[in-house]
Amino acid sequence: MKIYVLGAGAIGSLFGGLLFAAGEDVVLIGRKPHVDAINKRGLRITGIIEEVIKVPATISPPEEKPDLIILATKSYSTVEALRASKAIVEDTWILSIQNGIGNEDEIRKFGGKPIGGITTNGAILVSSGVVKWTGKGITVVGLYPKGRHTFVDKISEIFNRAGLETIVSENIEGWIWAKAIVNSAINPIGTLLRVKNGAILDNEELLSVAVEVVKEGCKVATQNGVKLEVHPIDLLFQTLKKTRENYNSMLQDILKGRKTEIDYINGKIVEYAKSVGLEAPLNFLLWGLIKGMEKLHGGVENVWGKRE
Ligand SMILES: NC(=O)c1ccc[n+]([C@@H]2O[C@H](COP(=O)([O-])OP(=O)(O)OC[C@H]3O[C@@H](n4cnc5c(N)ncnc54)[C@H](O)[C@@H]3O)[C@@H](O)[C@H]2O)c1
Ligand SMILES: CC(C)(CO)[C@@H](O)C(=O)[O-]
């Protein structure tokens, strides 16, 4: 299968590298330092495996249309990435493996055929050309927002062949929302308190706040007609237990002085609440606190003193 990974950073390079190593026709589309390093020395995947993979990489989308685009930018880059790839997006299957809500709707706005996806694999871009596979997880893919298509089954087959454990859901929207609701609790709380995920599990007060945030998100999802595929309270406890040693990705972004995906997690829950006449005060509070933190002059240095 001819696959382009649009937004080849940590998770995109991991997926693209493994698919290429399994024999798929893959091109990574990323930023120059990472692309140059890959073309010079190959993509090094370390952590769970130790492999150098000579996967082709480029900074701009090739002209020829692929069978599949894997969208792996941060959610706040989705529109810009789709706009820059407009020529190859129209009528192409596009799988989002991003966190957050709304990416698939953006794909459809650009004429792409959206496939939803969530993954619990973990990856960090250690340096240009080097990705660390930090946690082996599962990936769920499905025709967006729900339903079935043989092409999605094909994606699952080639992902599994590449060592990416993958299942197909006929209600991928239910998975995307469930994961976003869990992220809406773990990510801002862990970021504001600058703690690993396990600290939320071990602290009664933090855990009760996280449970209340999850309950608020569930109410918004249900009011919007979303059938949650897995109960977010169960997923919250499973995730906290499994990733207790993680500093969540939002905290990592803040520590690196980067934007976060809060608008596409808690921000979207507030937006969807409003669309059905609901308030989402807990999500609104967390959204505002993280946005404020992002904008504080000097970023984290202002909040916690010297950046690590
Ligand atoms: N990293 C993980 O372990 C993990 C796990 C699950 C889900 N996710 C989700 O996957 C998405 C990507 O996460 P990540 O950690 O890989 O982020 P990342 O920042 O490492 O990778 C995204 C890359 O896309 C690049 N990019 C942005 N716009 C581009 C464009 N127009 N053309 C080419 N490249 C472009 C960025 O420069 C960046 O290198 C996020 O939504 C994240 O929440 C990540
Ligand atoms: C599951 C998760 C919260 C683990 O840290 C991850 O999605 C993250 O860090 O964003």
- pLDDT surpasses 90 at 302: no
Query: Are 91 and 158 part of one and the same domain?
Result: yes
CATH code (residue 244): 1.10.1040.10
Answer yes or no: is 304 within a domain: no
Active site residues: 179
Domain range for 228: 171-294
Residue 220: count of CB within 10 angstroms of its CB: 25
Answer yes or no: is 269 within a domain: yes
- Write out residues with Cβ below 6 Å of ligand 1: 7, 9-12, 29-31, 72-75, 77, 80-81, 84, 97-100, 119, 122-123, 125, 249, 261
- Write out residues with Cβ below 6 Å of ligand 2: 99, 183, 186-187, 197, 239, 243, 246, 248-249
Query: Are 14 and 126 part of one and the same domain?
Result: yes
With a CB cutoff of 8 Å and minimum separation 6, the contacts of 43 are 13, 16, 17, 28, 52, 53, 54, 55, 57, 129, 130, 131
Ligand 2: centre distance to CA 131 (Å): 17
Query: Are 164 and 179 part of one and the same domain?
Result: no
Query: Are 214 and 283 part of one and the same domain?
Result: yes
Ligand 1: centre distance to CA 198 (Å): 24
Query: Are 21 and 115 part of one and the same domain?
Result: yes
Residue 296 pLDDT grade (very low, low, confident, very high; cuts 50, 70, 90): confident
- pLDDT surpasses 80 at 304: no
Q: Which of 183, 189, 201 to mutate to test the pocket of ligand 2 (most atoms within 8 A of CB)?
A: 183
In percent, the amount of the chain with pLDDT more than 90 equals 93
Query: Are 187 and 156 part of one and the same domain?
Result: no
Decide if 214 contacts 240 (C-beta within 8 A).
no
How much is the ipTM here?
A: 0.98
pLDDT-wise least confident of 93-102, 139-148, 291-300: 291-300
Query: Are 161 and 175 part of one and the same domain?
Result: no
Query: Are 182 and 226 part of one and the same domain?
Result: yes
Picking from 152, 169, 186, the residue at the C-terminal end of a domain is 169
Answer yes or no: is 308 within a domain: no
Q: In the prediction, which pLDDT does 295 show?
A: 83
Answer yes or no: is 300 within a domain: no
Nearest CA to ligand 1 atom 41: 98
Query: Are 19 and 163 part of one and the same domain?
Result: yes
Ligand 1: centre distance to CA 13 (Å): 9
Decide if 153 contacts 168 (C-beta within 8 A).
yes
Answer yes or no: is 305 within a domain: no
Q: Which of 35, 36, 74 to mutate to test the pocket of ligand 1 (most atoms within 8 A of CB)?
A: 74
Q: Which of 249, 254, 259, 268 to mutate to test the pocket of ligand 1 (most atoms within 8 A of CB)?
A: 249
Query: Are 164 and 175 part of one and the same domain?
Result: no
Question: What is d(CA 257, CA 253) in angstroms, rounded to the nearest whole number?
Answer: 6
Q: Which amino acid is at 92?
A: T
Count up the domains in the chain and report the number. 2
CATH code (residue 74): 3.40.50.720
Q: In the prediction, which pLDDT does 306 show?
A: 53
Can you say whether residue 79 is alpha, beta or left, with left for phi > 0 and alpha for psi between -120 and 50 degrees?
Answer: alpha
Q: pLDDT per residue over 97-134, tens digit each?
A: 999 999 999 999 999 999 999 999 999 999 999 999 99
Q: In the prediction, which pLDDT does 308 show?
A: 44
Q: In the prediction, which pLDDT does 299 show?
A: 54
Picking from 169, 194, 211, the residue at the C-terminal end of a domain is 169
Ligand 2: centre distance to CA 90 (Å): 31
Query: Are 16 and 155 part of one and the same domain?
Result: yes
Query: Are 97 and 163 part of one and the same domain?
Result: yes
Answer yes or no: is 307 within a domain: no
Index of the ligand 1 atom closest to the CA of residue 264:
41
Cα–Cα distances in angstroms (integers) from residue 186 to residues 21, 112, 200, 238, 286, in the given order: 34, 31, 8, 12, 11
Contacts 24+ apart (CB under 8 A), 222-227: 223/273, 223/276, 223/278, 224/272, 224/275, 224/276, 226/173, 226/174, 226/177, 227/171, 227/173, 227/174
